[in-house]
């Protein structure tokens, strides 16, 4: 069976500091990978998605970046955090398939507080 | 462009009663999928149910059913016999055939089940 991991679970960082969040998937190969951000009590904002190693699509221009150095590893980074980067970051994966019935599966999330 | 609208930011339901969470969508794709996810206070996103645009019957999964009205572009989630553990945020999402790597999420509905 497939599992998805995210770490750290929680993070408190000062404004202007760097960020690195990691997501890994087990039990599948060549998945689509996604990074979402969720502000408190709000919906999901798609940040990045990737259909393969080194292939990143950016949805929202901002001070965040993403990388996919390995097939089942997805990293979200920032060189300098802003207060507005606070939120709940969710990683998700999906089978690499055009079938509309394929759902996403989400990780446990990382709560980031920028002070 | 794809768009998902959830007009109920919050709802209350009495335990053991049924509740309907509204979702309307907008797309020009002929083939698309509609998904509902549950997000408890822990933050994890749990896939509940899927409905395909060409499915003639409404989807059901245990106590969850989807009231799909294609002409009205609505995909409402019905939870029967509500339980206290159903208290959570619920998100409607859609995926189309042309940009099949992306999911579009609504803003969510917060459901509170009262004992």
Please write the tens of the pLDDT for every residue from A20-49: 999 999 999 999 999 999 988 788 999 999
Interface test with A, best of B103, B105, B112 (most A CBs within 10 A): B103
**Confidence tier at A59 by pLDDT (50, 70, 90):** confident
- Classify residue A29 as exposed, middle or buried by CB count within 10 Å of its CB (0-12, 13-18, 19+): exposed
Q: Is 80 exceeded by the pLDDT of residue B35?
A: yes
Structure tokens at B44: 């994890």
Q: What is the pLDDT of residue A62?
A: 79
Write the pLDDT tens digit of every residue in B15-27. Answer: 999 999 999 999 9
For residue B95, give the nearest of A24, A34, A60, A68 by alpha carbon.
Answer: A34
Helix (H, G, I), strand (E, B) or coil at B17: coil
How far apart, in whole angstroms, are the C-alpha atoms of residue A16 and residue B72? 48
How far apart, in whole angstroms, are the C-alpha atoms of residue B111 and residue B10? 6
Across the range A79-91, mean pLDDT stands at 95
Per the model's pLDDT, the better-predicted residue between A61 and B91 turns out to be B91
How far apart, in whole angstroms, are the C-alpha atoms of residue A22 and residue A14? 19
CB of B96 closer than 8 Å to CB of B4: no
Nearest-Cα residue of chain A relative to residue B5: A43
- Say whether residue B3 is in contact with chain A using an 8 A CB cutoff: no
For residue A92, give the nearest of A39, A20, A42, A28 by alpha carbon.
Answer: A28
Q: Is 80 exceeded by the pLDDT of residue B65?
A: yes
> How far is the alpha carbon of A106 from chain B, nearest alpha carbon, in Å?
6
Q: Is 90 exceeded by the pLDDT of residue B57?
A: yes
Per the model's pLDDT, the better-predicted residue between B102 and B46 turns out to be B46
Nearest-Cα residue of chain A relative to residue B41: A41
Q: What is the pLDDT of residue A99?
A: 78
Q: Is 70 exceeded by the pLDDT of residue A105?
A: yes
What residues of B are in contact with residue A98 (Cβ under 8 Å)? 97, 100
Q: Is 90 exceeded by the pLDDT of residue B1?
A: no
Q: What is the pLDDT of residue B38?
A: 97
Cis peptide preceding A8, ω within 30 of 0? yes
Write the pLDDT tens digit of every residue in B79-96. Answer: 999 999 999 999 999 998
**Confidence tier at A61 by pLDDT (50, 70, 90):** low
Say yes or no for a CB contact (<8 Å) between A108 and B33: no
Q: What is the pLDDT of residue A39?
A: 86
Across the range B46-64, mean pLDDT stands at 95
The percent of residues above 90 in pLDDT, for chain B, comes to: 84
Place of tokens 């989630």: B77
Q: Is 90 exceeded by the pLDDT of residue B106?
A: yes
Say yes or no for a CB contact (<8 Å) between A42 and B50: no
Structure tokens at A65: 């970046």
CB of B91 closer than 8 Å to CB of B82: no
Q: What is the pLDDT of residue A101?
A: 79
What residues of A are in contact with residue B50 (Cβ under 8 Å)? 101, 103
Across the range A86-106, mean pLDDT stands at 89
Q: What is the pLDDT of residue B101?
A: 82
């Amino acid at each position: 069976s497939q599992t998805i991991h995210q770490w750290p679970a929680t993070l408190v960082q000062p404004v202007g500091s760097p960020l690195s969040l990691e997501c890994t998937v087990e039990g599948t190969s060549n998945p689509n990978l996604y990074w979402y951000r969720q502000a408190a009590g709000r919906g999901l904002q798609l940040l990045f998605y990737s259909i393969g190693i080194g292939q990143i699509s950016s949805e929202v221009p901002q001070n965040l970046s993403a990388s996919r150095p390995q097939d089942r590893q997805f990293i979200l980074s920032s060189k300098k955090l802003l207060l507005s980067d606070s939120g709940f970051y969710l990683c998700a994966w999906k089978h690499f398939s055009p079938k509309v019935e394929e759902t996403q599966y989400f990780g446990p999330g990382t709560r980031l507080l920028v002070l | 462009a794809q768009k998902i609208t959830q007009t109920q930011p919050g709802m209350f339901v009495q335990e053991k009663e049924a509740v309907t969470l509204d979702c309307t969508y907008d797309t020009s794709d002929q083939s698309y999928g509609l998904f509902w996810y549950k997000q408890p206070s822990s933050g994890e996103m749990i896939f509940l149910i899927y409905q395909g645009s060409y499915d003639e019957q409404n989807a059901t999964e245990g106590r969850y059913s989807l009231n799909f009205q294609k002409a009205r572009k609505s995909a409402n989630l019905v939870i029967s016999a509500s339980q206290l553990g159903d208290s959570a945020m619920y998100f409607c999402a859609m995926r189309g055939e042309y940009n099949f790597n992306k999911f579009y999420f609504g803003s969510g509905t917060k459901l509170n089940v009262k004992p």
